[in-house]
Amino acid sequence: MSRTPIISGNWKMNLNHFEAIQTVQKLHYSLPKEVHDSVDVSVHPPFTDIRSVQTVIEADDLDIILGAQHCHWEPTGAFTGEISPAFLAKLDVKLVICGHSERRDLFGETDEMVNRKVKAIFQHGMTPIMCCGESLAEREAGETEAKVLGQVAAGLEGLQAEQVASMVIAYEPIWAIGTGKTATADDAQAVCQAIRVAVAASFGADTAGAVRIQYGGSVKAGTTEELMAQPDVDGALVGGASLDPEEFSRIVQFAAG
């Protein structure tokens, strides 16, 4: 089954709204128009930037998908500092990252919380990018597959096959995030393939053939071509490199082929 690659730029806690406007405009201008026929491109700015980036995307008719980095599972309530998925939907956010390793490690997000967020994102008409990944200690202990597939199973609990087919799963080994280290293309393929096999076992072959699986972890333009050549790697969740519009553009163009 042919799957459209998806390249997502996670800006994390970087770029004020003025800088975000400039970055998304520069990205647009650096991308050949025909690229968008073969690859989906999303940006995930900080919450304070979303309205500004939304306005630019709509006013200039940019072929860039607006995303968010995180949300709560409740639409309203006494959750100081949290962001409602309903509010994001009103800003025409299409993709929401959930379960990022930094959210899990630094803010104590559990598999159960991630599952609730995945369901809330769908409930409000958006698509989740659900992250999973192992630590260096788990990798060295040979526990990569058990850890990753456990997170995937928990995150997808209670979903319908058509929901799983429409979403994005991002494999991002924790030991590779922000370290400059990147899993080899063969390593990334092995884990992404294991995820697809697990999805097939739970939701059927058609669902597994449709779900898009990204790799994330110090992705650079120089590593993208080999990663994207792997049969079960359908894109990349890009961190630091997405802050440089020219570097991010090269990554997108490698993904487009």
Amino acid code (one letter) for 24? V
CATH for 6-256 is 3.20.20.70
Instruction: Kindly state the tokens that stand for 113.
Output: 């919380």
Q: Which of 210, 159, 217, 150 is nearest to 185 (CA)?
A: 217
Lowest-confidence region among 56-65, 75-84, 168-177, 178-187 = 178-187
Write down the catalytic residue from 134, 138, 172, 247.
Answer: 172
Q: What is the pLDDT of residue 1?
A: 55
Q: How many angstroms separate the CA atoms of 71 and 225, rounded?
A: 32
Q: Is 72 a catalytic residue?
A: no
pLDDT tens figures, 178-229: 777 778 999 999 999 999 999 999 999 999 999 999 999 889 999 899 999 9
pTM exceeds 0.85: yes
Lowest-confidence region among 9-18, 171-180, 196-205 = 171-180
Q: Is 100 a catalytic residue?
A: yes
Q: What is the pLDDT of residue 85?
A: 98
pLDDT tens figures, 43-65: 999 999 999 999 999 999 999 99
pLDDT tens figures, 113-166: 999 999 999 999 999 999 999 998 899 899 999 999 999 999 999 999 999 999
Amino acid code (one letter) for 254? F
Residues in the chain: 257
Write down the catalytic residue from 28, 100, 134, 138.
Answer: 100
Residue 75 reports pLDDT greater than 70: yes
Kindly state the average pLDDT of the residues 6-18: 98
Q: Where in the chain are the domains? A: 6-256
Q: What is the pLDDT of residue 218?
A: 83
Kindly state the average pLDDT of the residues 234-256: 96
